[in-house]
Structure 1
């Protein structure tokens, strides 16, 4: 039995406007938060061309709310988008898909949401009617649009979002911690896909923000031995603090032998690839035990290809599953996990910088691997 929060079939449905989770009773006649006509946003104009632009504050239409962003995390996907290795079809684009904030203004038909509600947002906006949406697979919806990828995201002072994607936060969860809901929801989805069982031995390749999240979730699921492969010594120390039983550098001589030794000579039951490079994907398939499972979690470049022998999958009876993003019930489960204190994002978020330094922070993450996770602080006052 896993300790990672689970949800009922009803909770896994797309939240309706009048049944959003963690609803707080609020008066709907509160005034909108005072704001300027323009705002600062981190926008990508072309691959490598990031700018701090002054743009109009968007106005919410019917079924939408305007959120005053409190914090926004910088994700590896943001780095790929900025370089042009992850598709972003609509430029200029305001980046940012990991954010928390406060409702600043309401459009019509927004249910019982209220100004000053503290919220996070499921960034995946789908049609709700197609083959995939009817099967609770909206990530595959032909019309799916992701905030910060296809449309304006949360690396800005304000963002407009559909009411159906809004989750109101419980009072026990701070806006600081809530900025980690989106990546945690993604990691929970990956854990659901791979299904770690109590007593299993897990190798996590990569000690970046997502690999580190998988450490804590694997331990909550009952993994008896979590091994982390990470070249950076600072990140290896963070991995230990998050509960890793063993940490290794993949560049150590005898690395594969060490992994085998730590798993009684048979290999890990589960390997989670959380880097997104061809060598690490090939290593994942090589290191997993016969009959084991591999989670393809790291986002490799879209055009990358790898050498793979189908006979190895056949003869080792491997299970290889992918995990793209979190959605549906993984959002309330991430909120619950953070609010309960069983997952502490402060162990991962090691840099908080102002909006004025956002572009510098994004570029710095490309070269300084000692930094694990950067949050951009949009304001000193949430309301």
Structure 2
């Protein structure tokens, strides 16, 4: 193993450096990980653009991380050198009210790798063993990097209490929208309606990821189509995976969500929306927040190992770590064909 390594550092909005630094040594309760693949998330894009108020600079991005353990501290018991692992990015104190009541993903002092503290866009890094989970070593690295976003789908659908007899509306068919679609199908949902302004994204959602019906909100009357599909009842669950200013108000439109329905926003827009008490209480809607994931790493990795997710096409773009400049170029000059990017580190394609 080399003594030096490379890491990507965003020094300020729209500026980054590739630095060469010493390979770190794990503490007694830590493991040293050789990074093998990392997903590029929308939050990484916001950080580079200076749009994340919770981030600080300089910062190593990346919270969708998988790798091989190359060394373990003397106190580590469950993880050993050679293990393929996924790394939890939610750092928590374990003592606050939220942690004591099983809500560690929103810990009072939560700290997020790749946002509030350094992430995984580097060749080697250390993490406490308690945040590291072993995965099946037969999972290709290009797929393993998507375990984290898949946990978002599993967590958000769990928060939504999705059940077989639900009719689900998903607004936005990007990576998270299509992942939610898959998670709903795994939970046995019989009717899923996906809505977007992109025909190609909608076609992809129906062909590959489980959508039963699609609606183009740019060219179709969404309420009318939902009413037609649901025989006038509306949907019992609506996910706002579009997450732009006004999208939450839109999915709450009467005719889309039925009385006693559940609405799950997935974004972090800070722009106020015109939502009234009547809009919620008139139909007794549940507005259910969801952030990151909780207790989903091992079951999601198991589902992936068992082939329960459709992986082909979920990531559209693969960039070698040595060509990391292309990732930032795609952020500055976005290509509609780039839905999800995965960074592959040396050895990931072997």
**2:258 corresponds to which residue?**
289
* Aligned-residue offset at 1:363: 4.3
1:333 aligns with 2:302: no
Contact 2:141 2:348 in 1 (8 A): no
TM-fit CA distance, 1:268: 1.1
Is structure 2 residue 320 aligned with structure 1 residue 354?
yes
Higher mean C-alpha displacement, 356-365 vs 303-312:
356-365
Unaligned 5+ runs, structure 2: none
2:245 equivalent in structure 1 = 278
Q: Secondary structure at the match of 2:291?
A: coil
The answer as to 2:345 corresponding to 1:372 is no
Query: Does the CA-based 8 Å contact 2:136-2:305 persist in structure 1?
Result: yes
Name the residue aligned to 1:49: 15
8 Å contact kept, 2:319–2:326: no
Return the match for 2:281 from 314, 319, 336.
314
1:300 deviation in Å? 2.7
SS in 1 for 2:260: coil
SS state of the match for residue 364, structure 1? Answer: helix
TM-score, normalised relative to structure 2: 0.93
Match of 1:140 among 87, 106, 110: 106
Q: The residue matched to 1:349 in structure 2 has which SS?
A: coil
Tell me what 2:268 maps to. Answer: 300
Matched, 1:58 2:24: yes
1:44-90 CA deviation, whole Å, 9 max, x = no partner?
Answer: 11122233333332221121111111110001111122222223443
Q: Does 1:323 align with 2:290?
A: yes
SS of aligned partner of 2:273: coil
TM-score by length of 1: 0.85
- Kept in 2, the 8 Å contact 1:42–1:359? The answer is no
Shift, 1:226, TM fit: 0.8
Report the 3-state secondary structure (helix = DSSP H, G, I; strand = E; otherwise coil) of the residue aligned with 1:155. Answer: coil
User: What residue number does 1:221 align with?
Assistant: 187
C-alpha spacing 1:294/1:84, structure 2 compared with 1 (3 Å): same
Q: How does 1:194-273 map to 2 (within 5 A)?
A: 194-240=160-206, 241-273=208-240
**Residue 237 of structure 1, CA deviation:** 2.4
Distance (whole Å) between structure 1 residues aligned to residue 242 and residue 194 of structure 2: 12
For residues 109 and 242 of structure 2, what CA distance do their matches in structure 1 show? 28
Q: CA 1:88/1:53 → structure 2, altered by over 3 Å: closer, same or farther? A: farther
Deviation at 1:312, TM superposition (A): 1.3
CA positional deviation for 1:293: 0.9
Structure-1 separation of matches of 2:233 and 2:124: 52
Q: What are structure 1's unaligned runs of at least 5 residues?
A: 1-33
> Once superposed, which parts of structure 1, at least 4 consecutive aligned residues long, lie more than 6 Å away?
none
Aligned partner of residue 51 in structure 1, secondary structure: strand
Task: Check 1:64–1:246 CA distance in 2 against 1; reply closer, same or farther (3 A cut).
Answer: same
Hey, what's the Cα distance between the residues in 1 that align with 2:137 and 2:193? Answer: 35
1:118 matched residue in structure 2: 84
